[in-house]
């Protein structure tokens, strides 16, 4: 067991069949070297490629350490994350995307930052390896969301996160789109937990297509972002965002 307890690792997956075998294999090796108490969960968010078949084989291979949560229909990125958080049972929860644009082998960089009082260890992209228009949209979105929601974290849309599970149990997440990252980080910062940030590598997407960078998706994300702003910033006092007081680890 690593020094601050057990760990759940989960991946939201949508049409990620080609990348999953390597991703899960590497993750299992990393966890075996760093923890004696871990689980791996994949949320299959209504995929219509071979993701279901690939995950069934991986689950057989890595049982009982691995399990699959299946959505019969696509619930969106926020819906997939909420299912992953709900399914996690260990002291700490780590997630990243199932498309392998982040390297699961860098998880120890986050684990090394865990200490008393820390509730979130978040990656930030050392360099974004996407087409120029995605880099521009990503930087604009990140700067806009940080300003609008008064968020201190430097890279909101870096989905390479390690979170204390008792903090996740103390907040209600409602977003169904990529705005869940803004909602999650905002509520974690309001909880008063300690936050650490670590530079991680970001790689080109080798398979499939991002669901975020589509006109309909971007419009839906913007609409949800505005609703989130009214609910979390304009009309909701901070004390309503956390259901109960959370004691720091070791505190």
CATH number at residue 85: 3.90.550.10
Query: What is the model's pTM?
Result: 0.87
Burial of 113 (0-12, 13-18, 19+ CB in 10 A): middle
* Range of lowest pLDDT (85-89, 237-241, 244-248): 244-248
Which range among 2-11, 148-157, 238-247 has the greatest average pLDDT? 148-157
pLDDT for the residue numbered 15: 95
Q: What range does the domain containing 185 cover?
A: 7-238
The stretch 172-191 carries a mean pLDDT of 93
| Mean pLDDT of the 48-58 span | 97
Number of domains forming the structure of the chain: 1
Task: Give 249's pLDDT tier (boundaries 50, 70, 90).
Answer: very low
* Element counts in the chain: helices (H) and strands (E): 8, 7
Domain membership of residue 122 (yes or no) is yes
Residue 1 domain-assigned?
A: no
What contacts 169, CB < 8 A, 6 or more positions away?
none
Sign of CA dihedral 128, 129, 135, 141: negative
Place of tokens 């991986």: 58
CA distances from 185 to 76, 120, 133, 226 (A): 18, 9, 25, 16
Whether 245 is in a domain gets the answer no
Which helix (H) or strand (E) covers residue 110, if one does?
helix 107-111
On whether residue 197 sits in a domain, the answer given is: yes
d(Cα 35, Cα 242) in Å, to the nearest integer?
30
Within a domain: 212: yes
Q: Which residue has the higher pLDDT, 218 or 116?
A: 116
Mean of per-residue pLDDT scores for the chain:
89
Task: Find tokens 């720091």 and name the residue.
Answer: 248
In a domain, 140, yes or no: yes
- Of 49-63, 175-189, 212-226, the one with minimum mean pLDDT is 212-226
pLDDT of 245 strictly over 80:
no
pLDDT at 243 over 60: no
Q: Is the dihedral of CA 171, 123, 210, 214 positive or negative?
A: positive
Q: Is residue 210 part of a domain?
A: yes
Exposure of 40 in the CB half-sphere (CA atoms within 13 A): 29
CA dihedral 250, 121, 29, 11 (to 10 degrees): 120
Buried b (16+ CB within 10 A) or exposed e, 16-55: bbbbbeebbeebbebbeebbeebbbbbbbbbbeeebeebb
């Amino acid at each position: 067991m690593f020094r601050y307890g057990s760990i759940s690792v989960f991946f939201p997956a949508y049409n990620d069949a080609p990348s999953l075998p390597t991703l899960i294999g590497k993750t299992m090796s990393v966890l075996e070297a760093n923890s004696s108490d871990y689980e791996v969960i994949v949320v299959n968010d209504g995929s219509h490629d071979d993701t279901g078949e690939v995950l069934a084989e991986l689950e057989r291979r890595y049982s009982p350490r691995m399990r699959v949560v299946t959505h019969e229909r696509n619930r969106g990125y926020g819906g997939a994350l909420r299912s992953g958080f709900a399914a996690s049972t260990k002291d700490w929860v780590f997630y990243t995307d199932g498309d392998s644009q982040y390297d699961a082998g860098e998880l120890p960089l986050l684990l090394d930052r865990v200490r008393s009082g820390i509730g979130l260890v978040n990656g930030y992209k050392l360099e974004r390896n996407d087409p120029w228009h995605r880099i521009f949209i990503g930087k604009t979105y990140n700067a806009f969301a940080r300003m609008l929601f008064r968020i201190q974290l430097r890279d909101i849309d870096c989905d390479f996160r390690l979170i204390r599970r008792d903090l996740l149990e103390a907040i209600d997440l409602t977003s169904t789109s990529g705005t869940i990252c803004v909602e999650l980080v905002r509520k974690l910062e309001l909880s008063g937990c300690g936050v650490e940030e670590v530079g991680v590598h970001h790689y080109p997407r080798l398979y499939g297509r991002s669901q975020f960078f589509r006109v309909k998706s971007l419009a839906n994300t913007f609409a949800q972002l505005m609703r989130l702003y009214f609910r979390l910033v304009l009309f909701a006092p901070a004390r309503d965002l956390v259901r109960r007081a959370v004691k720091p680890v070791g505190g």
